[in-house]
Amino acid sequence: MRTETDFYPCPKRADFLVAGLRKKLAGSLSYLLEFASVNHKIEPTKAQSKINQISNAPNVSGYLFALNKKLLDSLQNNDKQTVQEIIDEIATGNYIFSDFSFTNFPTETRQKTWLSEVVCFEENCYPGPVRCEEDQYQITKKGLEKAFQVLKDVDPELHGEIFSLASEALIFDSKVMRTGSSFDLYGSIYYSQLRPHNDWLKFLEDTVHEAAHLYLFSFVGDDALVLNKFEKLYNIHFRDDKRALVGVYHGTFVLARILYFFDKLIKSGHPSIKGREDNLRELLAGWKQSFSDGLQVIERDGVLTPFAKDLMLDTKEKISLID
């Protein structure tokens, strides 16, 4: 699964990458179901029928990626009860969508627990995400819809790419978490509910941010991108904590995509940002400095695959064009 190393967004490239991931997901789940059937005498027919739809489905919930990992872990731990629960969840759940989906965080104990295991990874998120009150959920959904419309108005190509990579917005309430994405919940972008000190513009930044992560996650299993040891951590100015080089690479690419889009947004004169241009230009200057800091660490310490090296070189070239 290789593509040209162009930094600029491309919906067709994203479609290709996501199709490959879904094919691998379907293959992995089918293999695990067969293993469960042979070794635990569990009947997987209904779940397999759902899995057969994954490869050609318009949109697939990231929760299926989480269930795939949970099923593998449970089989390795010989946890027959959890294996049965996961297979039942696949068989009865609605995880294939005709269009991009907005989802409130579940209240059902099993789903809530398993989703929290992914959403809270690497996060100090006690007491964890919870379901939004309905009125707050609707306000947040409306804010996201406005952000998505502005994105489409300003950059249809980036909008198309993002909605090839992302299948759902998972909305929750949390006092300590904001937004996130994960390979283990691939296709989902999770958003904390809209707060008084934020608005749709923050959702716009967060969407571009997390979609850039999803783009890089698309290469998992095909290209490692970064070969530095994960245990080796590096200082980076735009993070308070030290990060593995793969985290620096991700963060730097993310900043580049944010810079690329918000530069276009300012120059577009879109009516939604009237009176906020100066503030956005200040943010742009800060993001550009953070990008330069990340790039310096990558160029000094990064051990990259040829693809990752070419992609970052192209990214550097394209960002240099922003005045």
**How far lies 49's CA from each of 83, 205, 266, 318, in Å?**
17, 38, 48, 45
Question: What mean pLDDT do residues 189-196 have?
Answer: 87
Tokens of 271: 């009516």
Q: What pLDDT is attached to residue 118?
A: 84
Q: Report H helices in 221-276.
A: 245-268
Neighbours of 12 (CB within 10 A): 12
Return the pLDDT at 37.
Answer: 94
Which of 323, 316, 144, 305 shows the shortest CA–CA distance to 228? 305
For the entire predicted model, the pTM comes to: 0.94
pLDDT band at 173 (very low <50, low <70, confident <90, very high): very high
Q: Name the helix (H) or strand (E) containing 112.
A: helix 109-119
Q: Which residues of 197-213 are buried (b: 16+ CB within 10 A; e: fewer)?
A: eeebbbbbbbbbbbbbb
Residue 15: C-alpha distances to residues 7, 10, 142, 164, 229 (Å): 16, 9, 26, 6, 31
Alpha-carbon span 146 to 99, nearest angstrom: 17
Q: What is the structure's pLDDT at 125?
A: 67
